[in-house]
Chain A
Amino acid sequence: MNCRQVVELMTDYIEGILSTDERARFEEHIAGCDGCRAYLAQMQTARNLAHRLADEPLPESIERELLDAFRNWRRL
């Protein structure tokens, strides 16, 4: 496996769907390759940062609508 192939397998590796053989070859490559190891860590950082967007506060107008809707819940 070369780096160009390894980068395209990163998500399959993270998702745990590589075959035993592919996984072994992937890990063997990663162990000896700084660039691919950095790339893998950065893909995981990208995923973790995306998850932080879930904590973003709701825009005020939407929050107000939801609160109104909850208050009117019983009247529906």
Chain B
Amino acid sequence: MTYVGDRGVAEDVVQESWLTCVRSLDRFEGRSSLKTWIFGIVINVARSRRRKESRILPFASFWRRADSDEGRPTVDRSRFGSDGMWQSGPPSWDSIPESKILGDETVQQVKAAIEALPPKQREVIVLRDVAGFDAGEVSSLLGISAANERVRLHRARAAVRQALEEYLR
């Protein structure tokens, strides 16, 4: 769901992936874990679905595909002084009760922040942090380099942290 960003589409993707898994189960060779194999199928189905959607909505997808900011800093420059030290550092969460930080409402904020990410960052954080795959599994599932996987993960986590900072302020 967090991967394609639309419940109706997500349900279609699950259904189609499920059918693909059932049909091709006899071709599963056990070279990867079953979990990795199933996710590989879901990713392929979701990606081809996303390509299809973006042909229908060329302009929307143009704006949503703003993934090319990978060289930019993840923290607003204005938060640092000219010496590069914090001027407006992150407020400490030490005085916020743990039940608030780990509460369901906070988890929903994280969900919304992940859904708002550019797709390439979203797929990395969903696989790494939500689904719990390790770095090597994610770069091979997505066909990207380890360095690229790390850059996207860093940007995604920084954006989620920023959303939490605003929510917990």
Chain A contact residues, CB within 8 Å of chain B: 2-5, 7-8, 10-12, 15, 17, 33-36, 38-39, 41-43, 45-47, 49-54, 56, 59, 61-62, 65-66, 69, 73, 76
Q: Which listed residue, A12, A17, A35, touches B89 by the CB 8 Å rule?
A: A35
CB-based nearest A residue for B153: A11
Interface residues of B, dominant DSSP: helix
Q: Which listed residue, B90, B101, B107, B165, touches A53 by the CB 8 Å rule?
A: B107
Interfacial chain B residues near A34, Cβ < 8 Å = 89, 92
Q: Which of B59-86 contact A (CB under 8 A)?
A: 73-75, 77, 80, 83-86
Asked if A61 contacts B157 (CB within 8 A), the reply is: no
Interfacial chain A residues near B114, Cβ < 8 Å = 50, 53
The 3 closest A-B pairs by CB, nearest first: A35-B89, A2-B84, A11-B154
Tell me if B116 is interfacial: C-beta within 8 Å of chain A.
no
